Amino acid sequence: MYNVLLVDDERIILEGIASVVEWDKHGTRLAGKAVNGKDAVRLIEAQPPDIVITDIRMPELGGIELIQWAKERYPRMHFIVLSGHEEFASAQTAMKLGVRHYLLKPCSEDEIAGVLDEAVEELRERERQESFKASTMEQLARVLPQIKEQFLKECLMNKTYSKRDWDYYGGLLGLDIDDRSVRLLLFEIEGSCEFEHLFALHNIAEELVRESGRHVLLNTTIGERLVLLVEEGELAEWLALLERVKRIYGQYFRLDLTIAVSHPGLITQLRMLYRETQACLSHRFYLGEGSIITSEDIHHPAEGLPMELEVDTEAFAIAVRSGNTERAREFVRETIARLKASKLDVGLVKSCVLELYLVLLREKGRAKPSWSAGADGSGQARARPMRGLETFLLREDAFDTLDQTEDYLLQAAVEAAERNYEANVQTQSKVIAQVVRYVEDHLDDESLTLSKLAHDIFYLNVDYLGKLFRKETGEKFSLYMIRVRMEEAMRLIARAESVKILDIAAKVGFRGNPQYFSQVFKKHTGSTPSEYKKQLSNMSEN
């Protein structure tokens, strides 16, 4: 029911309208009657009605003045004007004040009822629209955070928006950005990361930013990284705040954070700022996990590897092969130190480190079988680096940071040199040494078997040679042949631009059966030749 106030200084008209209209039939209730504008003001202030039916000419306070007074205080109040023919100018004034309905005196019951129905329908329509708007706004409020996240992600990765675009979308999303400078903060959680870790990081970071008197303008996640768009602020203040974020997050989750901070920039430069933070984050390779990295920490050298930084892989191989533990350790440390100081492109540095890794892999193939991984293939890469050498590249943290890579290479190089030293001081059967050398030099011979070596090359009994080989090496000759052929295949694949199965199979004694070569290779390494090459390429690029 809508409440109606009736205002007219003519008592007969006032009472006549009050009694003749069946108010409840029209969804209304007569809430009061006033004999002039002043009396109406009193009633309105006591209980504001939904609809006011008022005369124009009244003593003390006329209808126009009443409408003006009410519109200033109760803009939603609906008015129906009663006027005579001679009051047409006043009726026009009422229309200008937003009054949409008027009745000419004298008016019939039907006329009053018709206008009243129109007013009620307008009130109902307004309520429907307001209800729809409220419902829409409620739904929008629920999805707005996700819309904002997706919008920022689009800005960073796919689209470039002009200032005009930002003004438009900023208005839609309720963003107060204008022409102010902003920064991007890019967070990466070290170690295993679940959704709840990112969710908690977002909450902690945003709360601490808010406590500092700043604002997170937008946020999103890209993969397993959190991105915050924030106000510019002083860099020193941001660094101090981010140290707090790292400390508090670490206390709760025992996980470290690496954070990149961009230069200040305009909102239209977001893609450039994002590329900058990505470049910063890649330098965790040099600075280590748990760093806060800014553009000032990044050096931008010329492309290519300077002559003084080229890796002398032959010198490294000689140190390892000869069992010179100290020289092998010193070589790794000196090489990593030069690469770290150079701050070269991360991909270029990783390719240099990969050369050292391939030297160790090659030297392992030349050494005694005791270098090989156990039957379970676990490798235990941290405790026994040489045991997991072939699978190192498949590990998620391979070449993750330069410090971690140095630790691994040091352990592997020292272990390799120590094993070679032990092997060199032992007396090795001259015959077996010759067998090993002959096999290494004739890996492409498809007919090479223990029987051929015994009868045609060394003129020995095949059973005797087999037992002697196993006694000296600890490995059956047939298994040894497969291992050295597969390790040679791995080296060939690592050096080749592209994998040509026929060529590689021929070079390791499988010329007549490349398909069988692929099966043996997969059984030995866990990957097909093509998959192994792809894994090496991916690690070099990353």
292 shares its domain with 164: yes
Between CA 80 and CA 108 the distance in angstroms is: 15
pLDDT in tens, 502-535: 999 999 999 888 899 999 999 998 999 988 888 8
**Domain end marker among 378, 400, 425:** 425
438 shares its domain with 420: no
Our CA angle for 373, 379, 383, nearest 5°, is: 120
Residues 6+ apart with CB under 8 A from 332: 316, 356, 406, 409, 410, 413
489 shares its domain with 527: yes
- The answer to whether residue 133 sits within a structural domain is no
Give 475's DSSP letter: S
Domain with 214 in it = 160-297
Answer yes or no: is pLDDT of 227 > 80.
yes
6 shares its domain with 75: yes
What CATH code is carried by the domain that includes residue 100?
3.40.50.2300
- Over range 274-282, report the average pLDDT: 89
- The answer to whether residue 116 sits within a structural domain is yes
Q: Residue 23 region, left (φ>0) first, then alpha (ψ -120 to 50), else beta?
A: alpha
78 shares its domain with 186: no
Rg for the chain (alpha carbons), in Å? Answer: 43
Q: How would residue 236 be classed by pLDDT, with cut points 50, 70 and 90? A: very high
179 shares its domain with 216: yes
- The answer to whether residue 238 sits within a structural domain is yes
**Domain end marker among 297, 328, 352:** 297
Of the candidates 263, 293, 265, 299, the residue with the CA atom closest to the CA atom of residue 280: 293
Beta strands at 182-189 and 257-261: parallel, antiparallel or unpaired: antiparallel
Of the candidates 423, 427, 482, 428, the residue with the CA atom closest to the CA atom of residue 450: 482
437 shares its domain with 507: yes
Phi, psi of 474 (to 5 degrees): 80, 15
Tokens linked to 475: 């490995």
Q: How would residue 365 be classed by pLDDT, with cut points 50, 70 and 90? A: low
Tokens linked to 515: 């398909």
List the strands of the sheet with 78-83, edge to edge.
28-34, 2-7, 51-55, 78-83, 101-104
169 shares its domain with 285: yes
408 shares its domain with 457: no
Of the candidates 284, 295, 299, 313, the residue with the CA atom closest to the CA atom of residue 397: 284
Q: How do the residues of the chain divide into helix, strand and coil, expressed in percent and rounded to 5?
A: 60, 10, 25
Strand partners, 104: 83
What CATH code is carried by the domain that includes residue 219?
3.30.70.270
- The answer to whether residue 138 sits within a structural domain is no
Between CA 487 and CA 490 the distance in angstroms is: 5
pLDDT in tens, 479-491: 999 999 999 999 9
282 shares its domain with 213: yes
**Domain end marker among 370, 392, 425:** 425
8 Å CB contact between 181 and 199: no
Output the DSSP codes for 47-92: S--SEEEEES--SSS-HHHHHHHHHHH-TT-EEEEEE-GGGHHHHH
- Over range 137-153, report the average pLDDT: 82
- The answer to whether residue 207 sits within a structural domain is yes
- Over range 116-140, report the average pLDDT: 88
Q: What's the full length of the chain, in residues?
A: 542
Average pLDDT, the chain: 83
164 shares its domain with 290: yes
Q: How many domains does the chain have?
A: 4
Answer yes or no: is pLDDT of 310 > 70.
yes
pLDDT in tens, 56-85: 888 888 888 998 999 899 999 999 988 775
- The answer to whether residue 197 sits within a structural domain is yes
Q: Residue 374 region, left (φ>0) first, then alpha (ψ -120 to 50), else beta?
A: beta
Prediction pTM value: 0.49
Question: What is the three-class DSSP state of 185?
Answer: strand
- The answer to whether residue 190 sits within a structural domain is yes
Tokens linked to 82: 């009663």
Q: CB 482: neighbour CB atoms within 10 A?
A: 17
8 Å CB contact between 331 and 319: yes
37 shares its domain with 60: yes
What CATH code is carried by the domain that includes residue 517?
1.10.10.60
How much is the pLDDT for 106? 81
Between CA 106 and CA 277 the distance in angstroms is: 78
- The answer to whether residue 139 sits within a structural domain is no
Q: Is the CA virtual torsion 286, 235, 245, 217 positive or negative?
A: negative
